[in-house]
Amino acid sequence: MALKRIELDLYIYDGLVTDIPSEPQYQIKKQRIDTHNNITLEIGELIRDYLSVYFNDDYISYTKWARAVVTYFDNSDHPFTYDNPKVFEYIAFDGYGFFEDGTNPELQRHALISSNNIYIPENTAGKFPIFAEGVGKVTIDSTDTQITDSGNTNQKIQYISIPANSNEIKVYDTDDTTLLKTVSITNVCEPKFTPYKITFVNKYGAFEDLYMFKKTTEQLNVTSDLYKRNTIANSTATYNTSEGQRSRYNVNGVTNIKLNTGFIIEDMNTTIEELFLSENVWIRYENKTLPILPKSQSLDFKTSLNDKLINYTIDFEFAFDKINNVR
Cα distances (angstroms) measured from residue 19 to each of 66, 91, 150: 11, 13, 13
The closest alpha carbon to 85, from 99, 98, 67, belongs to: 67
Whole-angstrom distance, CA of residue 280 vs CA of residue 292:
8
The amino acid sitting at 327 is R
Angle at 53 between CA 12 and CA 145, to 5 degrees: 90
Residue 32: DSSP 8-state: P
HSE toward the beta carbon, residue 22, CA cutoff 13 A: 0
Asked if residue 109 lies in contact with residue 38, where contact means CB atoms within 8 angstroms, the answer is no
- Asked if 311 and 292 count as a contact pair (C-beta separation under 8 A), the reply is no
**What predicted TM-score, i.e. pTM, was given to this entire model?**
0.92
State the sign of the Cα–Cα–Cα–Cα dihedral 159, 314, 115, 202: positive
> Distance between CA atoms of 292 and 304, rounded to whole angstroms?
29
Alpha-helix residue ranges (DSSP H) falling in the chain: 44-48, 269-277, 304-307
Q: How far is CA 222 from CA 134, 228, 249, in A?
A: 49, 20, 12
What confidence tier does 209 reach under pLDDT thresholds 50, 70, 90? very high
DSSP three-state, residue 67: strand
Report the distance separating Cα 32 and Cα 37, nearest Å: 7
Write the pLDDT tens digit of every residue in 92-143.
999 999 999 998 888 889 999 999 999 999 999 999 999 999 999 999 999 9
> pLDDT value at position 81?
81
pLDDT at 272 over 80: yes
Q: What is the pLDDT of residues 213-242, one digit of tens each?
A: 999 999 999 999 999 988 898 888 899 998
Give residues with Cβ within 8 angstroms of 215, minimum separation 6.
Answer: 193, 260
pLDDT tens digits along 242-254 = 889 999 999 999 9
Three-state secondary-structure class, residue 217: strand
Tell me the per-residue pLDDT of 276-320, one tens digit each, with 9 for 90 and over. 999 999 999 999 999 999 998 899 999 989 988 999 999 999 999
CA distance 282 to 290: 5
| Side chain identity at residue 262, one-letter code | G
Q: Given CA atoms 260, 262, 266, 270 in this order, what sign does their dihedral have?
A: negative
Please report the pLDDT score of residue 107 as a whole number: 86
pLDDT band at 1 (very low <50, low <70, confident <90, very high): low
